[in-house]
Amino acid sequence: MRTTRWTSYDLIFFDCDSTLSTIEGIDELAKLKGKEGRVGILTDKAMNGDLDLAEVYGKRLKAIRPTRGQLKAVEERYWETTVEDAVEVVAALQFIGKKVFIISGGLVDAVRGFGRRLGVAPDHIRAVELEYNQLSGEWWRYHEPSTQHKQTYMEYVEGPLTISSGKPDIIAELAGGDAGRRFMIGDGSSDLATRSVVDLFVGYGGVVARDKVKSGSEVFIESLSLAPVLPLATGPTGYERVKGTPYQALFEKGIQMALASDVLFNEEQKRNTFINAFEEKPDA
């Protein structure tokens, strides 16, 4: 007897760079310093799994030495380059009753500011903390916003997000005692490392398709739009929740994309389960 049950997930974790935004924040900082070539190579190697993040994190920041003001500029760039349907997908997930999180190896000032704009609570966002040199520039006015803007990077806080295998620890921390089912989406090898601690890992290749992530994902989104996240993360029960609301059209767009060629299911059984669950939905 075939099953038509597609699970609904409760805790939804997003990567940030090249998943919610089309840019890599650290590379944008490098552009501001005219050092995008070297830094970009290191970023690609880390995201593709050729180097551990621990090997490149400090090197990139020492080459750039960003200021608080430059990180604010990266927050703006994140917002300007938000991935198609990302804002609406986050809102729809929250409307359905899901808990939404962002886990990023990016820098916290920029990622948290961007996450707030997406509607994600600050305590649901984790990224890498920086320490700034408060004695740089007009140090005697360190408490004033105009001076804080110019404070330069001094050191980063090492932790799970500065190594390639650390995101599972952050998922465990954010989930806490919540026994809900976990869903993770991201583009990089550090995201793929979460597969062992989530119930469904979805690779995202709409911005950059990485072979290791594509082959290692249970499901892989190839489109730029994040609309397929809605049916993948919430199933038919999620669709019932959005019927008759402004989110219905976006959900149906996601169904159509997932049933077409925009989503790759690496397991035939999982693909069949999804098709069976949604084949009778409108316009699907």
3-state secondary structure of 265: strand
pTM of the model: 0.89
- The count of C-alpha atoms lying within 13 angstroms of the C-alpha of 27, restricted to the half-sphere facing its C-beta, is 17
Which conformational region is residue 235 in: left (phi greater than 0), alpha (psi within -120 to 50 degrees), or beta? left
Instruction: Supply the DSSP symbol for 21.
Output: B
Q: Could you report the per-residue pLDDT of 236-276, keeping only the tens digit for each?
A: 999 999 999 999 999 999 999 999 999 999 999 999 999 99
β-bridge partners, 39: none
How much is the CA Rg of the chain, to the nearest whole Å?
Answer: 19
Torsion from C-alpha of 139, 141, 144, 150, nearest 10 degrees? -30
pLDDT beyond 70 at 135: no
Q: Could you report the per-residue pLDDT of 31-57, keeping only the tens digit for each?
A: 887 877 777 788 888 888 887 888 888
For the chain, domain boundaries: 11-278
Distance (Å, rounded) from C-alpha 146 to C-alpha 186? 35
pLDDT beyond 60 at 2: no
Answer whether CATH 3.40.50.1000 is correct for domain 11-278. yes
Q: Could you report the per-residue pLDDT of 176-185, keeping only the tens digit for each?
A: 989 999 999 9
